[in-house]
Amino acid sequence: MTFRSRRWLLAPVVAGAVAAAGLSLANPITAADAGAAKGKARNVIFINGDGMAAAHREAARLYLAGLDGQLTMDKLPYSGQLTTSPHDPKTPITDSAAAATAWATGEKTYNGAISVDVDGNPLPVLGAQAKAAGKSTGLVTTAQVTDASPAAFFANTADRGKQDEIARQYLEVTRPDVILGGGEDWWLPAGKAGAYPDQPAEDPSEASKGTKGDLIAEAKSKGYRYVSTAAELQAAKGGKLLGLFGNEELFQQRAEGQGDVYAPPASLATMTEKALSTLSTNKKGFFLFVEEEGIDEFAHNNNGTRMLQALGELEKAVAVARNYAASHPDTLVVVTGDHECGGLTVEDTDASDESGDGISAEDGPFPIKGSGQSFKLDWTTSGHTGADVPVTAYGPLAEQFTGKHPNTHVHDVLAQILTH
């Protein structure tokens, strides 16, 4: 992916997203400040579009910004590519756990591993190292807060499925200051429903299932303010913050027209803005992990409509982060994906092109913003692929993301800021 221009030319959708988030463009990126920031970096905002690769970003660009538009994530002035292969004896294709472990530890491992090496030994993680360096830390996701990608930065376990153990480690070991997302089921023992009832009509399989006791009560005893609605989140002021806004993910990830819903009780942009306002009071800086999980989950279901919706919400969160960094030049913002999902291509609507059926079926057409044209999405799998993922960055050390690197390179760059 190439960077087309360093001028600040917001597409209407981005301007609307920023306005909706209550933000100001008083400190825009300009040609003068689009390069590497001068001075010492203190903060990192690392943003994961789970399952997002080049075709996903291009589909979002056409749909949200138009033929001549650009996404905020693509306007960041430095860009490159990351390879994603794990060190798994069974497959060269990564899952989110192994990919995030590469980011968080600088070491490749097997699929399903949360920041342990191929022999199951725990590895140092950037979330804990940032805390040891005196920085504030936080995570924001539309997945369970204990899902693989955020977990890799703040926990160690040989099995990504042990989400209640990951929650326990958050509270008792790595202590992130802000934890916002879904997954309340893992914080409460079976039979004890929380703010979100067990066996909801939209998914009767969801119910409390933790084995580590009442971790929400434990969080409160450790000084966390617990919130479960957008209104409570907005009212929260300072201090440590735990927000769980759903039993599991903050959406229903099904095939199109089969109960698929993307309507998080608290939007990714809103959670990101609250996390930044909370973490930024630390003079030593902060580390914030931000993730949009819906891209991956809906791509697994070959659901282009909801995937594009999730990409739009990611774009709003990127606008929040970029706007923060524009007025805080000691902040590095990085946007990438952990792997490709769906084997996706963006195609013309030509009826003579093969369409296929099942997994090979074309999806769409989807309108190109501001034009009379449209495009289709063509899926080749319901799983992950080994395609490279784009990475774009802004701020101190951003230039180190140019070129093509293994995904462990993320750790090498971020560690320069977070471990000192």
Rounded-to-integer distance, Cα 42 and Cα 287, Å: 9
CA 261 to chain centre: 18
Spatial contact of 304 and 14, defined as CB atoms under 8 Å apart: no
**Paired tokens of 159:** 């099995």
ω into 122 cis (within 30 of 0): no
Rounded-to-integer distance, Cα 218 and Cα 187, Å: 10
**Share of the chain residues as helix, strand and coil, in percent rounded to the nearest 5:** 35, 20, 45
Determine the 3-state secondary structure of 288 from DSSP. strand
Cα separations (Å) of 377 from 307, 361, 382?
11, 9, 13
Largest Cα–Cα separation, the chain = 64
**Paired tokens of 236:** 């929260």
**Residues within the annotated binding site?**
50, 147, 149, 291, 296, 300, 338-339, 384
Q: How far apart are the first and last CA of the chain?
A: 31
The residues facing 81 across adjacent strands are 390, 404
Determine the 3-state secondary structure of 5 from DSSP. coil
115 carries an active-site annotation: no
Per annotation, catalytic residue among 79, 85, 96, 221: 96
**Residues within the annotated binding site for Zn(2+)?**
50, 296, 300, 338-339, 384
Burial (0-12, 13-18, 19+ Cβ within 10 Å), 365: middle
Number of Cβ within a 10 Å radius of residue 395 = 29
Ramachandran class of 199: left when φ > 0, alpha when ψ lies in -120 to 50, beta otherwise: left
Rounded-to-integer distance, Cα 38 and Cα 203, Å: 50
Helices (H) and strands (E) in the chain, counts: 13, 17
**Paired tokens of 70:** 């650009």
Among 329, 320, 340, smallest CA distance to 285 is for: 329
Catalytic residues: 96
